[in-house]
């Protein structure tokens, strides 16, 4: 039964948030004033999908690396300590031991000495620890045993949390990342008189009002919203639906659009698939009315752990440029920054130097179809009068062209274009305002005052665009859940790029995996692809053979043209759960 009292309290909380002068001021302050570089050390360690622990030594190593990037000319404003920094019994007031034997103050003080604002991850209202029921005394009145979280509208938790945040601000912390919010939490007895929607409304309004007051007291603090505050992150095949509450923009400077993961668009280069995922989720948030400058794509996640798929720094150049081109003022950078050498650091600085002035003007536009549709090239336009930059991706397995928009509107001559950056392999072709890219290719193109040699950024060596690619007819026969055989009439002497797409009975992608690292199965064992030419087994080169936490709805492999003549038979075996159909695609490629 719905509770009139509950609805009244919810309205009251929202009303207070709108009538309190200081809270109104905090709402008005939300939003960064300019491009801000926020380093977050997650993926340099990973205690969820890997076993690399956060320690003071690791945190200081990353600080050294940030200072090296700074010396090369890169901008960094914030260093945020991510999840697991805290003592589970310390109510977000103390760093855990023995990981931080001296506590967190040496790290905070060193950040401040080097003009880096310290930041902290906060688990919003999740009950953390090996025994989530063993919550602190101050929090017990808020605990909900059904969802292992703490109510934000009932009991003592929220007031205690806000006091803990204030304590850190008083010691120099000025950025907070709020993660894993759970607005379904309610203590015993509340569920008997309130509906789920009333509980969610009460919690959301209580948190918004408290955070608004906190921001009013501390206008210098940056607030970032992560998991739990809305949005859909799990796939790229769904339509761009309305699933975000824009009122959170009143108390958060930026809203995150999802950790990097592989898209549902099959690609020979897995790192470009990660790029496409982040492009798509940012477009999803934009379609919800979230301004691009308020979206944190969280896409630049480099490192040596499972959470970033052990990519190290592979294909970081293209990932960095796309992250900058999307226009978000909260530029978040994750991972092992010590992996970057002097040339990499120089590239980093030059990329920021090109894009940060464009971000500051706030004239970023998306164009082309939704990335997850993989119908044609799409991209991001950073437009100013007399100078414009376009960052374009071709998600298809064919050469494709696009007319770059807006040049006449911003008084830029079509003949003044210059390709500043591209992938290795086949070069893009710029003809006036028409750009042609090879399969999976990416390019950054400048016009007007920025189209000069000083802004050249080179190329991405870790993504190679084929010189030629054409589809080859295949005949696929599903042989039961998770099994299929395909026959491909491809002449020998031509390399074959193979894709296998996993679908359910309705034709929608099904993501499979073998469990997260370090114990999970590698994807080449989870999705097994074998090829036979006549009676000869032919090697299939699989580019990605790691265990992943997020799953894949496809796999890919390459068969060399140096194989026996005759039809090629390809067999696929994947976990059968949910996989009703497997579609095999083949393309003849030339380097």
Q: What is the pLDDT of residue 79?
A: 98
Instruction: Retrieve residue 170's tokens.
Output: 């008083």
Residue with the bigger pLDDT between 27 and 246: it is 246
Q: What is the pLDDT of residue 130?
A: 64
> By percentage, how much of the chain surpasses pLDDT 90?
73
* pLDDT tens string 176-212: 999 999 999 999 889 889 999 999 999 999 999 999 9
> Domains of the chain by range and CATH?
4-360 (3.20.20.70), 367-465 (2.60.40.1180), 469-590 (2.60.120.380)
Rounded (10°) CA dihedral 88, 91, 92, 95? -50
Answering whether pTM is above 0.85, one says yes
Q: What is the pLDDT of residue 409?
A: 67
Over range 394-417, report the average pLDDT: 84
All residues at 6 or more sequence positions from 499 whose CB lies less than 8 Å from its CB, including other chains: 266, 554, 555, 556, 584, 585, 586
Over range 8-36, report the average pLDDT: 54
Q: What is the pLDDT of residue 90?
A: 85
Q: What is the pLDDT of residue 2?
A: 33
User: pLDDT-based confidence at 127, cuts 50/70/90?
Assistant: confident
Residue with the bigger pLDDT between 439 and 10: it is 439
Q: Are 125 and 182 in contact (CB under 8 A)?
A: yes
Query: CA-to-CA distance for 86 and 99, rounded, in angstroms?
Result: 10
Residue 76 has pLDDT above 70, yes or no: yes
Mean pLDDT of the residues in the chain: 90
Q: Which range has the worst mean pLDDT, 292-306, 461-475, 512-526?
A: 512-526
Q: Which range has the worst mean pLDDT, 112-116, 249-253, 439-443, 503-507?
A: 503-507
Residue with the bigger pLDDT between 587 and 384: it is 587
* pLDDT tens string 237-272: 666 566 677 889 999 999 999 999 999 999 999 999
Residue with the bigger pLDDT between 270 and 137: it is 270
Q: Are 65 and 338 in contact (CB under 8 A)?
A: yes
Residue with the bigger pLDDT between 566 and 237: it is 566
Q: What is the pLDDT of residue 24?
A: 47
Over range 501-514, report the average pLDDT: 91
Q: What is the pLDDT of residue 411?
A: 56
Which is it for strands 117-122 and 78-81: parallel, antiparallel or unpaired?
parallel
Q: What is the pLDDT of residue 57?
A: 98
Task: Give me the phi and psi of 249, to 5 degrees please.
Answer: -65, -15
All residues at 6 or more sequence positions from 394 whose CB lies less than 8 Å from its CB, including other chains: 376, 377, 400, 437, 438, 439, 440, 441, 442
Residue with the bigger pLDDT between 519 and 403: it is 403
* pLDDT tens string 453-482: 999 999 999 999 999 999 999 998 888 888
Query: CA-to-CA distance for 513 and 234, rounded, in angstroms?
Result: 14
Angle between helices 270-287 and 316-325 in degrees, nearest 10: 10
Longest dimension (CA), the chain: 79
Which is it for strands 536-538 and 483-488: parallel, antiparallel or unpaired?
unpaired
User: pLDDT-based confidence at 21, cuts 50/70/90?
Assistant: low
Over range 396-405, report the average pLDDT: 96
Q: What is the pLDDT of residue 10?
A: 36
Query: CA-to-CA distance for 545 and 582, rounded, in angstroms?
Result: 20
Over range 301-323, report the average pLDDT: 97
Q: What is the pLDDT of residue 128?
A: 78
Residue 19 has pLDDT above 50, yes or no: no
Over range 387-403, report the average pLDDT: 97
Q: Which range has the worst mean pLDDT, 83-87, 99-103, 562-566?
A: 562-566
Residue 562 has pLDDT above 80, yes or no: yes
Q: What is the pLDDT of residue 26?
A: 46
- CB count in 10 Å sphere of residue 154: 22
Query: CA-to-CA distance for 222 and 118, rounded, in angstroms?
Result: 11
Over range 358-371, report the average pLDDT: 93
């Amino acid at each position: 039964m719905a509770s009139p009292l509950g609805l009244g309290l919810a309205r009251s909380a929202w009303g207070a948030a709108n009538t309190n002068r200081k809270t109104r001021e905090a709402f008005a302050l939300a939003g960064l004033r300019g491009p801000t570089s926020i380093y977050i050390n997650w993926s340099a360690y990973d205690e969820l999908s890997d076993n690399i622990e956060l320690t003071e030594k690791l945190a200081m190593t990353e600080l050294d690396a940030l200072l090296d990037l700074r010396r090369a000319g890169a901008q960094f404003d914030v260093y945020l300590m991510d999840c697991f920094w805290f003592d589970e019994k310390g109510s977000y007031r103390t760093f855990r031991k023995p990981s931080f034997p001296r506590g967190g103050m040496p790290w905070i003080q060193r950040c401040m000495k080097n003009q880096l604002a310290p930041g902290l991850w906060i688990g919003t209202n999740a009950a953390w620890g090996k025994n989530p029921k063993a919550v602190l005394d101050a929090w017990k009145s808020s605990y909900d045993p059904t969802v292992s979280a703490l109510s934000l509208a009932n009991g003592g938790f929220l007031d205690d949390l806000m006091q803990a945040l204030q304590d850190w601000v008083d010691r120099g912390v000025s950025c907070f990342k709020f993660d894993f919010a759970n607005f379904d939490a309610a203590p015993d007895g509340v569920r008997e008189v309130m509906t789920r929607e009333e509980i969610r409304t009460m919690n959301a309004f209580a948190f918004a009002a408290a955070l608004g007051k906190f921001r009013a007291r501390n206008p210098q603090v940056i607030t970032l919203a992560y998991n739990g505050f809305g949005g859909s992150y799990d796939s790229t095949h769904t339509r761009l639906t309305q699933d975000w509450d824009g009122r959170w923009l009143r108390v958060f400077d930026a809203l995150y659009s999802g950790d990097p993961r592989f898209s549902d668009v099959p690609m020979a280069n897995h790192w470009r698939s990660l790029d496409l995922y982040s492009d798509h989720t940012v477009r999803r948030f934009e379609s919800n009315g979230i301004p691009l400058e308020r979206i944190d794509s969280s896409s630049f996640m480099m490192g040596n752990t499972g959470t970033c798929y052990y990519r190290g720094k592979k294909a970081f150049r293209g990932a960095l440029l796309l992250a900058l081109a999307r226009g978000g003022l909260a530029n978040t950078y994750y991972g092992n920054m010590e992996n970057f050498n002097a040339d990499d650091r120089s590239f980093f600085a030059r990329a920021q130097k090109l894009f940060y002035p464009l971000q500051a003007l706030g004239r970023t536009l998306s164009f082309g179809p939704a990335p997850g549709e993989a119908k044609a090239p799409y991209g991001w336009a950073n437009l100013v009068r007399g100078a414009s930059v376009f960052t374009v991706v071709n998600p298809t397995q064919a050469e494709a062209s696009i007319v770059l928009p807006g040049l006449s509107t911003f008084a830029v001559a079509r003949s003044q274009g210059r390709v500043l950056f591209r992938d290795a392999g086949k070069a893009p072709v710029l003809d006036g305002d028409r750009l042609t890219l090879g399969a999976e290719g990416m390019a950054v193109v400048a016009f007007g005052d920025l189209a000069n040699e000083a802004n050249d950024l080179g190329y991405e060596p870790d993504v190679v665009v084929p010189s030629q690619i054409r589809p080859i007819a295949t005949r696929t026969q599903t042989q039961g859940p998770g099994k299929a055989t395909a026959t491909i009439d491809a002449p020998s002497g031509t390399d074959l790029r193979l894709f296998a797409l996993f679908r359910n009975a309705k034709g929608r992608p099904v993501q499979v995996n073998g469990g997260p690292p370090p114990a999970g199965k590698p994807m080449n064992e989870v999705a097994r692809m074998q090829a036979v030419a006549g009676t000869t087994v032919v090697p299939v080169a699989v580019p990605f053979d790691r265990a992943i936490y997020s799953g894949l709805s496809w796999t890919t492999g390459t068969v060399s043209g140096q194989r026996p003549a005759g039809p090629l038979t390809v067999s696929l075996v994947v976990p059968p759960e949910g996989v009703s159909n497997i579609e095999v695609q083949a393309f003849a490629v030339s380097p």
